Amino acid sequence: MNNMKTLNRITHRILIGTVLLATLFSCQDVVTYNDGYDDGMNSFGAPDVQGIYSPDDTDLQVPLAKGGFGEMIVLVGENLSNVTKITFNNMEVGLSEVYATSKKACFPLPGDMPEEITNKLYYETERGNTTCEFKLDVPAMEINGLYNEFALPGTSLQIKGKYFELYGFGKNSSSVIKFGDTELEIESVTDQVITAKLPGDIPDNSMIVVEWNGTEGHCSYQLPYRQTDNLVWDLANPSDYGIWGGKDFITDGSNTGDPVALAGSFFRVKGTYKAWSYTGLPSGSIILDEEVAANPSDYLFKFEVNSASDYPFYDITSKTGGYLIKLNGGNYQWKYSLDENMNTFGEWYTVTLELENVATAGLVSGKIALTLAMQPNVEWNVDHSFANIRIEKKIGQ
């Protein structure tokens, strides 16, 4: 019995010793595991951005100098964790979209056009902040002119181009359409068209000004509006302006089916014309200034066209058929396109041509002939109107 008690005491002591040793070793393991451990989330000073990269550049080989709307970027540096604020061009990045450790931060750039492009990236943490240069990679806005330069006062004006929505027209205070000091009401905006309301008292020979903040600062662009001073003819008085042919096509807009007159009389071609038939339209003489004759590349040849809804301007497959412009004895075929029809659906549309291209026989100053004609290469059934033939100097020339 005594031997049994002695054995139990020995066994008990061995078990206690084993537990103590296990506990000791376990505690030593914990201390050793935490000693000097860094989970990569701790920062010890102000952030320091040493490079910006694409998330696809996992080896960090090609630093980025610019980024586009909504693009993901990766900042590499020191002390980047515990972010409190990020802005790019003064537009905030949502912190819920940011993943940051002490050495890397990944987030998307803002997806909207800023009011002001500073090309500055601001990064703030609980321990400080830093600012670095980073360019906004944004396509330059394009302006391609007015759909109808002779739109009547008090009506809507359409501006053609690209990236209007991107630059905040109708939203940003810096993106405006103006006449003098008057800001036009913007009625609608798409990526390629701005529609604005014209004042009822806007005079002829004005300039519509488009203003916006671009990547290189504040920008403006002038668009000529109703340049009546540059008209080569007054079709309401054809005899006074040396018009010798095609007078029967001239109308003041009061005939059945006529489109609305924009600036006095215009001419309308309506009917069915056989293939290769030649029809003389209004033709006569114009007076050309010496400066225009000597520098045709500085000038544009413009007019408005109107096609009734069921009568588009047909595509031209031959180089010898269509509407002809004969300036100073030259021969220029006007066409909208070689491979598609054009239909203005009863609205007036401004056509802009390079004067030097129209003047295929060159130019001289003084009185020269301007002859307009139609010679379709197939049978045409047309209802087309033309107005406001003019020669304008290019803006900035």
Is residue 231 within 8 A of residue 370, CB to CB? The reply is no
Name every residue whose Cβ is closer than 8 Å to that of residue 218 and which is 6 or more positions away in sequence: 174, 211, 212
Is residue 53 within 8 A of residue 62, CB to CB? The reply is yes
Domain match, 249 and 111 both: no
The Cβ of residue 227 has, within 10 Å, a number of other Cβ atoms equal to 20
Give the pLDDT of residue 116: 84
* Residue 84, domain member (yes or no): yes
CATH number at residue 150: 2.60.40.10
Domain match, 110 and 202 both: no
* Residue 317, domain member (yes or no): yes
Spatial distance between the Cα atoms of 101 and 40, rounded to a whole number of angstroms:
6
Spatial distance between the Cα atoms of 73 and 41, rounded to a whole number of angstroms:
19
Structural domain ending residue among the three candidates 136, 160, 188 = 136
Give the pLDDT of residue 8: 45
Give pLDDT tens digits along the chain (397 positions): 444 444 444 444 444 444 433 443 443 444 444 455 556 889 999 999 999 999 999 999 999 999 999 999 999 999 999 999 999 999 999 999 999 999 999 999 998 888 888 999 999 999 999 999 999 998 899 999 999 999 999 999 999 999 999 888 998 888 999 999 999 999 999 999 999 999 999 999 999 999 998 877 889 999 999 999 999 999 988 776 679 999 999 999 999 999 999 999 999 999 999 998 999 999 999 999 999 999 999 999 999 999 999 998 876 655 567 899 999 999 998 876 544 568 899 999 999 999 999 999 999 999 999 999 999 888 889 999 999 999 999 997 5
Domain match, 273 and 389 both: yes
Domain match, 236 and 385 both: yes
Domain match, 292 and 272 both: yes
Using alpha carbons, select from 379, 383, 359, 355 the residue that is nearest to residue 371: 359
What does the block give as tokens for 344? Answer: 């203005």
Spatial distance between the Cα atoms of 363 and 26, rounded to a whole number of angstroms:
101
Residue type, 369: A
Look up the pTM and report it.
Answer: 0.78
Domain match, 117 and 101 both: yes
Alpha carbon 129 to its chain centroid, in Å, reads 35
Residue 127 lies in domain: 48-136
Task: Give the bridge partners for 263, in sequence order.
Answer: none
Task: Give the bridge partners for 133, in sequence order.
Answer: 120
Domain match, 219 and 352 both: no
Number of domains in the chain: 3
Q: Any idea how long the chain is?
A: 397
* Residue 15, domain member (yes or no): no
Structural domain ending residue among the three candidates 110, 136, 162 = 136
Domain match, 271 and 341 both: yes
pLDDT per residue as tens digits for the range 325-357: 999 999 998 876 544 568 899 999 999 999 999
Query: In this structure, what DSSP letter does residue 239 have?
Result: G
Angle at 207 between CA 204 and CA 211, to 5 degrees: 150
Task: Give the bridge partners for 385, in sequence order.
Answer: 268, 306
Domain match, 260 and 350 both: yes
Residue that has been written with the tokens 């490079």 in this structure: 51
Using alpha carbons, select from 167, 178, 247 the residue that is nearest to residue 208: 178
pLDDT per residue as tens digits for the range 248-276: 999 999 999 999 999 999 999 999 999 98
**Helix ranges restricted to H, 201-313:** 290-294
Structural domain ending residue among the three candidates 199, 225, 251 = 225
Spatial distance between the Cα atoms of 261 and 247, rounded to a whole number of angstroms:
17
Give the pLDDT of residue 31: 43
What does the block give as tokens for 141? Answer: 């806005």
Give the pLDDT of residue 5: 42
Domain match, 245 and 377 both: yes
DSSP string, 356-384: HHH-TT---SEEEEEEEEEE-SS-EEEEE
* Residue 14, domain member (yes or no): no
Spatial distance between the Cα atoms of 370 and 232, rounded to a whole number of angstroms:
10
Give the pLDDT of residue 112: 84
Domain match, 307 and 371 both: yes
pLDDT per residue as tens digits for the range 354-377: 999 999 999 999 999 999 999 988
Domain match, 276 and 192 both: no
* Residue 187, domain member (yes or no): yes
The Cβ of residue 242 has, within 10 Å, a number of other Cβ atoms equal to 15
